[in-house]
Structure 1
Amino acid sequence: MEETFGGVSPVVVSSLYHNIYSILRELDCKPQAGSASNKGMLRWTLHNRVDRNPSISVPLVRVLIKELEKAERIDSKIRIIPLLHTLVYTVLQSVFIPEDLYRRIYLCLKRLVLLPAPYCAIALDYARQMKMEQSAPGLLYQRRVIAEHNLCNDLYPLHEKVFVFVDPAVFPLSLVNALKAEVECGNPAGDPLMYKRRILLHTMLAGLGKQCQVDRLTQALEHSGEDIELYFQDLVTILEQRAEDGASDDNQYNIRLQEIYQDILSPAKDPSCQASQVETQLPGPEVSFHVWTKEDEIWNELVNYALMVPADRSSAYLDQDDLKRTSVMSTVSTDSGIEGDMPISELSSLMMDFQSGSDDQSRSLSFYRRPCVRWPKSGNRMTLMMEAIKGSGGCSLTKEERNLTARIVVLGDDRTLGRLAKTLYTIRKREARHLLLTKRVNMEMYYIPVTDQPPLVQEGVPEDMLTLAGYLGSVDPWYDSNINGLGAMILKLAQMQSSQSESSQPNTFLLDIISYYTRVSQHPLHLPIYSVKICFSGLSSPSVEEVFVAQLMMDFPEVKHYRATFKDTIKGSVRHRKYNPQEYQGTVVSINYRKASISDREKEKGMSLTTNGMMISVLPSCRVKSLHSLNISFQDMNPLRPSKPSIRAVSVNIRVLEKQTFTVCLDKDPQKTFKKVQSIEVSPCLDPGYCQQASTKSKYSLGEGGESLNKYLNKTLTLPINTFCGSEQ
């Protein structure tokens, strides 16, 4: 019992110091091969150690506070965000934190609010959470388990679910089953009473401290049966009211907590029955695993989640199973609803009833239609969503209308993020006219970079399939440590798991990484999405509109792909005879673009040049750190011509001036390759919501006759990827 509340040996405290120093030392070192993986493993080992032995949480919190105060004193900002997340996640895992330690955490966070963004935003968010946890110990743990496992109650009706989508282009089919076993079998769906017992035990330990008899409480909870539901609802009511009222009346709160504690222990128990091991570990969230093969699969899963459809069924078949009513026979109406089509006897009775003027007789003699069921068409999820919003089942929406949170985790490379951007654009386009899905479900997107392909070599230049992941890691070093570094281990672990027998225990490493990522990284980094209009040669070919988020590659297949050297141009040499300069001159293209500037005062420019290909990249160059412009670079195979410098543009129109055509590839995805293209138009992708509401009167107006503020708003559609620090949109 003493170990639960901080009585640990000096050897354990020394090892905790060593763990923290190892993490900080890796952060301060320059990036090296394998260093990111080491940092991620160090963090995972530390939190896994706390999860197995909660008694070390109190000395670990003390060590983290000291290091956080030191980082603030020496102005080491690279350490602040990792220490903040590690500290708060340790508090979430902890069973008991002393009052003086809470005050010290809160004072440290208040000082960090004075720092610039993003440190102030993260510190302010955590300061509010620590203030609530100090007034109601165990509240963060209780809310997390309630939301992640849909434990319905009246005061905290939020529900969260993690959807893992893996790209089959990255993961071989032989590893998919092993990967699914790691994600889902690591935390199988348990009995709701089990999670409620954990909440009761954890909250009693956190609130009562040494007054709580752990063994007796564990034994009593195991034999409480259906009374667990009553204790759980009372405990949620007490803690939620405490969170709203603050620390106004400590005595009343402690008395109510003691009453629940005594009610649980009051029934006589068999002393011979031994209590099982104390289970206060934070359980993993509810996770569903999907292989992303269809374009609208994310939309379908979100609709099923909003309609609370079981995981093994689809909302497309609700008309056959869930909407059937045995007490109501489905009939087909033969009349058109017009009085002229009604029988004379029924029409005369209605006429007599209207002339009498009696309301009671009008109700009794009114035209009676047999009860019917309107069968929705298969796959008509829009109708089901509208009915679900009107009368939402399950938990009551007393506080928030969007009580469902879908955490979408995608595993893949740049091609996968391109597909995710297209999915987001499609969802926003569907929701532009009628808010159905997003009115009920809050979507959050996460990205774990994984690729099974070595760098592709094209014309001697290696092509990186994880360029966006590299940018996210450069902005957020903690993301680079825990997500970028550990992403390469996922395929190795899946291969190890697939080679083992089916009876072996699945590895929970991937589930732990996903749990930490989705719980802690709540600050999105917005990647701009660009739209491209592709026009083909020939009048019969319609244009195509697509989006991309990483890069657009232009190539001229009619130009001979051969990189000439300087020796090829020397007359008299053997290689010069094989070298025909006309074959390597390239194609003349016309480029009209809006040049990007720091003052956002773009200038329209145009030029014509000869090139063998272009690459339009969204990622900023080393000199420019802004994502709000495109980097256009040119390829030339003729060594005699001077190289053309790249340009920065907001939008660009490119067309060929000859009879040749070119090929366009979006986000390095072979499935998004278009041939025989004559011209393209690239511009920032506008949010379909703005386009749909352009004709209506905007709320951003200065009144009648006033100038609208719409032109000052950012209308670009972005792909928000949650990271540990985020950035301003």
Structure 2
Amino acid sequence: MDKPTASCSSFPPTVENPEVESDFLRSVHALLRELDGHHPAFQSERGMLRWTLHKKIDRNPSNGVLLVKILVKELERAERCGYRQYIIPLLHTLMYTLVKAPGIPDDLYERVYDFCKKLLTLPKPYCTIGLHYARQLKLERTIPGILYQRMVSAEQSLKNDSFPYQEKVFMFADPYLLSDAVCRAVVTEIKAARTSQCIRSCMIYVVEHVLREGLKDHCDFRTLQAILQEKPLDMIEHCFQQVVAAIEHAGRDMSAECNQYVEELEKIYSALLSTSSSKKDEEEATAERSPGIPLPNPNISFHLWTDEDQLWKELVLFIRPQSQSGEEDSLSQELDSFEIQDFDCCEQARFSVLSTDSGIERDLPMPGDEVPEAEPRLQRKGGIKKRASTLDCLSLLQTGSNGQGTKPAGKLHRKCGGSIMEPIAQMKRLHTARVLVLGDDRVLARLVQAYYSLRKRESRRAYLTPRLKVQFYYVPVMEEQPSSCPMEEYALPDMTQPCELSAYLGRVDPWYESNINTLCHMIPKLATMPSSPSKNSVSDLFIIDVIAYYVRLGLQPIFFQVYAVKLFFKNAVLEPAEDIFLIQLHVTLEEFDPTRDNLLMKKKTGVEVPGADVTLMYKKVLLSNREKEETVSLRSTGLVMKAIPSDETEDLVCLNVNIAEVLKTSNLSGRSYSLVTNKIRTRNINMQSTEQRSFAVCLDKDSRRVYRNVIGIEVSPCLEPSYCLQKTRDRRTSLPGDEDVGLAKYLPKSLLLPINTFAGIIQ
């Protein structure tokens, strides 16, 4: 990879202030101490340090160069001394500063670029993040201002022909889990952030930033600000279109010299100066202008999750309004017809249209015959739409599933930050939906159900997948200890942790722990604080600023296995139920009464033994990546299956099952009973009650998802719907016993839910 080309000119040297430099250095060192986690004095400020540091640059952009110098020095020192845990947080902080701060010298860009190239020799995620940022740095130095322009244009959906990409953040909250005060606090910040996000302001920001970065000291920035503020919307839009066209033209022709790009910007700048008002008006306007250019927060929409299909509907509406071309109009019509289809059938029904025209000339009506007026002769009848080719469907399903391409290669360790497989047929998806959920583990269970439903629909008829990229983000929010399932947990370890998945993400990604997990209790705390005049100020927003930082830089997904469960009921008339879970499955004996059947030492003879006799059939998972089939019969009061590991040192994609087993002992004083917890690791397990005593099954800690009168369960990894559908089609032509024949062997087998973090899993 070549070094980024030098820019055409440079800003005047920044005057360094020793006090400011010392303040920045203290802030950066506080961030590093926070990552170590050995300084309790900083616990009250966790999550605020990074936000405060970037706010200092927002208030005084001229200090951005000084902060970049400090961050570069700390990065080089961390690499030299082997402090790898500091590299990714410092690099994220540095790159976010580069996008926001103006006038960064070329020598600093080259030092950061060289550092990113060194990361290519390290394992994931360092090499992945280093390559991503190296490409961005090369692009920015070749075409100054392109990173800011693309970010703002996409996030604000600014209409232009040269860069049609659009992004949107969909924030979902379950009203059952969050109080009205928390929802109101988040909505208030979203509305406050929108005050600086009008279309006119965002276009002006892009024009100002690009001209300032491209023309350097040849641009009178304060005069430019004054000129743009007095222009009407149509002229602002025309200037914005010219700037974006110049950037994207240079982006398509990377071999072109920087002078050509600068010449285009100079023409735009000269045209603006020629249409300006009197000099006196300019001087009055520039006296009140700020030298900084804000970075608007992304477009965020807040949704209370009240409808099971709400996620799919919102994604449809996201790509639907932009119907300006014939192709997009046809998309809207297809979606209209698609919404009323029955999604429960895998095969689409085929309808034929009976033609009354035999095609023989003598059968045509004579000139004197009457022709019905209701049906014009050239009206097109509704026919069968052409299906996409098999290879096109395969590429869509591969790209839209989980970004991992084919099935896992048998490794048990959890995957993270995998590179997205290039589809067979190149697709241009112009929309990106960033779905962010607020709440505890129960909201993730709702998310995985919506994701599974979405994948089922797309596997049958891919409408959103060719046009839309979906990424998932999670911000834990917990107001109080959630009410667990209406069943107690006897002789089992504490299984009531409300935010297990976020705790796991914090262990494997320290930067997620510092910036996102701190919001778990901070958001409810901010929601209960009394309102103040500055609380709704754009400069004082905290929740939305942190979320914006997360969705912009959290680009490394961690994939979590989704599990399917089949439940058999005591009433044989009832059909078995099928469901999925992501985090936990809890089984408890329904007839067990702890007040009556005390589990302490029993001295009475003939007392009823607590629990029920069950048979467990499972495949034991070993560290050697082998599976051993086991069958165990025991007496138990229940079990808990955990899909999220409690220790990252054994991060295996499997279920950790804790079984409460009843042990009967006899001695001279009589008979006694005790409970012990057996632990097994498996990916497939069947449990059957041999004496027909029923159990209650609770999925993902949600009291709304409890199944009663259950006597048997079957748990296995949930299969990807596209794989199931393709395997069903291939089975018609395959021989008995063949597995994964035809196109099914190229599709991912398991359904994985990707949750984005800053670094993925740091080894």
Same topology, TM > 0.5: yes
Q: Distance in 2 between matches of 1:5 and 1:431?
A: 55
Q: Is the 8 A contact 1:4 1:54 kept in 2?
A: no
- The 5 A counterparts of 1:464-479 are 464-479=497-512
Letter in 2 for 1:30: H
Matched, 1:720 2:754: yes
- Going from structure 1 to structure 2, the CA distance change for 1:431 and 1:400 (only over 3 Å counts) comes to closer
Following TM superposition, by how much is the alpha carbon of 1:252 offset from its aligned partner in structure 2, in angstroms? 2.1
2:88 paired residue number: 81
Tell me the SS of whatever aligns to 2:568.
strand
Matched, 1:295 2:329: no
Cα shift readout 1:183-239 (whole Å, capped 9, x = no counterpart): 233224743222111111111111222221112111111223222223222211222
Cα shift readout 1:574-613 (whole Å, capped 9, x = no counterpart): xxx6xx8744531111111011123433122111111111
Matched, 1:98 2:110: no
Following TM superposition, by how much is the alpha carbon of 1:138 offset from its aligned partner in structure 2, in angstroms? 1.0
- Going from structure 1 to structure 2, the CA distance change for 1:678 and 1:5 (only over 3 Å counts) comes to farther
- Going from structure 1 to structure 2, the CA distance change for 1:166 and 1:404 (only over 3 Å counts) comes to same
Cα shift readout 1:357-393 (whole Å, capped 9, x = no counterpart): xxxxxxxx9983597999xxxxxxxxxxxxxx9xxxx
Following TM superposition, by how much is the alpha carbon of 1:565 offset from its aligned partner in structure 2, in angstroms? 7.6
Q: Distance in 2 between matches of 1:652 and 1:595?
A: 9
Tell me the SS of whatever aligns to 2:365.
helix
Matched, 1:253 2:261: yes
Q: Is the 8 A contact 2:662 2:675 kept in 1?
A: no
Following TM superposition, by how much is the alpha carbon of 1:337 offset from its aligned partner in structure 2, in angstroms? 5.3
Q: Distance in 2 between matches of 1:7 and 1:121?
A: 36
- Going from structure 1 to structure 2, the CA distance change for 1:339 and 1:372 (only over 3 Å counts) comes to closer
Following TM superposition, by how much is the alpha carbon of 1:246 offset from its aligned partner in structure 2, in angstroms? 2.8
- Going from structure 1 to structure 2, the CA distance change for 1:290 and 1:366 (only over 3 Å counts) comes to closer
1:447 paired residue number: 474
Q: Distance in 2 between matches of 1:418 and 1:495?
A: 27
2:463 paired residue number: 436
Q: Is the 8 A contact 2:173 2:437 kept in 1?
A: yes
Q: Distance in 1 between matches of 2:268 and 2:567?
A: 67
Matched, 1:626 2:659: no
Q: Is the 8 A contact 1:135 1:247 kept in 2?
A: no
- Going from structure 1 to structure 2, the CA distance change for 1:442 and 1:467 (only over 3 Å counts) comes to same
Matched, 1:485 2:510: no
- Going from structure 1 to structure 2, the CA distance change for 1:249 and 1:640 (only over 3 Å counts) comes to same
Following TM superposition, by how much is the alpha carbon of 1:438 offset from its aligned partner in structure 2, in angstroms? 1.8
- Going from structure 1 to structure 2, the CA distance change for 1:31 and 1:718 (only over 3 Å counts) comes to farther
2:244 paired residue number: 236
Q: Is the 8 A contact 2:143 2:258 kept in 1?
A: no
Q: Distance in 1 between matches of 2:154 and 2:161?
A: 13
Following TM superposition, by how much is the alpha carbon of 1:459 offset from its aligned partner in structure 2, in angstroms? 5.3
Matched, 1:200 2:200: no
Q: Is the 8 A contact 2:441 2:583 kept in 1?
A: yes
2:7 paired residue number: none
Q: Is the 8 A contact 2:181 2:527 kept in 1?
A: no
Tell me the SS of whatever aligns to 1:171.
coil
Letter in 2 for 1:49: K
Q: Distance in 1 between matches of 2:63 and 2:534?
A: 35
Cα shift readout 1:285-326 (whole Å, capped 9, x = no counterpart): 11111111221111111111121289xxxx99x98xxxxxxx
Q: Distance in 2 between matches of 1:309 and 1:247?
A: 33
Cα shift readout 1:471-506 (whole Å, capped 9, x = no counterpart): 111111100110001231111112226x66999658
- The 5 A counterparts of 1:686-705 are 686-695=719-728
Following TM superposition, by how much is the alpha carbon of 1:532 offset from its aligned partner in structure 2, in angstroms? 0.4
1:348 paired residue number: 366
Q: Is the 8 A contact 1:554 1:662 kept in 2?
A: yes
1:224 paired residue number: 231
2:168 paired residue number: 161
- Going from structure 1 to structure 2, the CA distance change for 1:31 and 1:680 (only over 3 Å counts) comes to farther
Q: Which of these residues, 468, 474, 496, is aligned with residue 529 of structure 2?
A: 496
Q: Distance in 1 between matches of 2:622 and 2:748?
A: 17
1:402 paired residue number: 429
Letter in 1 for 2:356: I
Tell me the SS of whatever aligns to 1:693.
helix
Tell me the SS of whatever aligns to 2:575.
coil
- The 5 A counterparts of 1:35-434 are 35=43, 38-188=45-195, 190-225=197-232, 226-246=234-254, 248-273=256-281, 274-275=284-285, 276-278=288-290, 280-308=293-321, 338-339=356-357, 347-349=365-367, 368-369=376-377, 401-434=428-461
TM-score (norm 2): 0.79
Q: Which of these residues, 545, 570, 573, is aligned with residue 537 of structure 1?
A: 570
- Answer with 662-671 or 149-158: which moved more: 149-158
Q: Is the 8 A contact 2:34 2:514 kept in 1?
A: no
Q: Is the 8 A contact 2:156 2:298 kept in 1?
A: yes
1:327 paired residue number: none
Matched, 1:615 2:640: yes
Q: Is the 8 A contact 2:570 2:692 kept in 1?
A: no
TM-score (norm 1): 0.83
Matched, 1:635 2:647: no
Q: Distance in 2 between matches of 1:713 and 1:85?
A: 34
Cα shift readout 1:135-185 (whole Å, capped 9, x = no counterpart): 111110000010011112222111000111112122113443332112233
2:715 paired residue number: 682
Q: Distance in 1 between matches of 2:566 and 2:726?
A: 22
Following TM superposition, by how much is the alpha carbon of 1:637 offset from its aligned partner in structure 2, in angstroms? 6.4
- Answer with 408-417 or 638-647: which moved more: 638-647
Following TM superposition, by how much is the alpha carbon of 1:269 offset from its aligned partner in structure 2, in angstroms? 1.5
Q: Distance in 2 between matches of 1:103 and 1:561?
A: 69
Cα shift readout 1:382-426 (whole Å, capped 9, x = no counterpart): xxxxxxx9xxxxxxxxx9631011111100111110111111111
Following TM superposition, by how much is the alpha carbon of 1:712 offset from its aligned partner in structure 2, in angstroms? 8.3
> Where do 5+ consecutive residues of structure 2 fail to align?
1-9, 324-331, 337-352, 383-395, 397-425, 664-671
Following TM superposition, by how much is the alpha carbon of 1:272 offset from its aligned partner in structure 2, in angstroms? 3.0
Cα shift readout 1:493-543 (whole Å, capped 9, x = no counterpart): 12226x669996586211101110100001111111001011111122111
Tell me the SS of whatever aligns to 1:437.
coil
Q: Is the 8 A contact 1:589 1:654 kept in 2?
A: yes
Following TM superposition, by how much is the alpha carbon of 1:34 offset from its aligned partner in structure 2, in angstroms? 7.1
Tell me the SS of whatever aligns to 2:727.
coil
Cα shift readout 1:80-110 (whole Å, capped 9, x = no counterpart): 1101110111111112211111111111111
- Going from structure 1 to structure 2, the CA distance change for 1:614 and 1:31 (only over 3 Å counts) comes to farther
Q: Is the 8 A contact 1:27 1:39 kept in 2?
A: no
Letter in 1 for 2:240: F
- Going from structure 1 to structure 2, the CA distance change for 1:434 and 1:43 (only over 3 Å counts) comes to same
Tell me the SS of whatever aligns to 2:194.
coil
Q: Distance in 1 between matches of 2:61 and 2:196?
A: 24
Following TM superposition, by how much is the alpha carbon of 1:249 offset from its aligned partner in structure 2, in angstroms? 1.1
Q: Distance in 2 between matches of 1:157 and 1:503?
A: 35
- Answer with 63-72 or 7-16: which moved more: 7-16
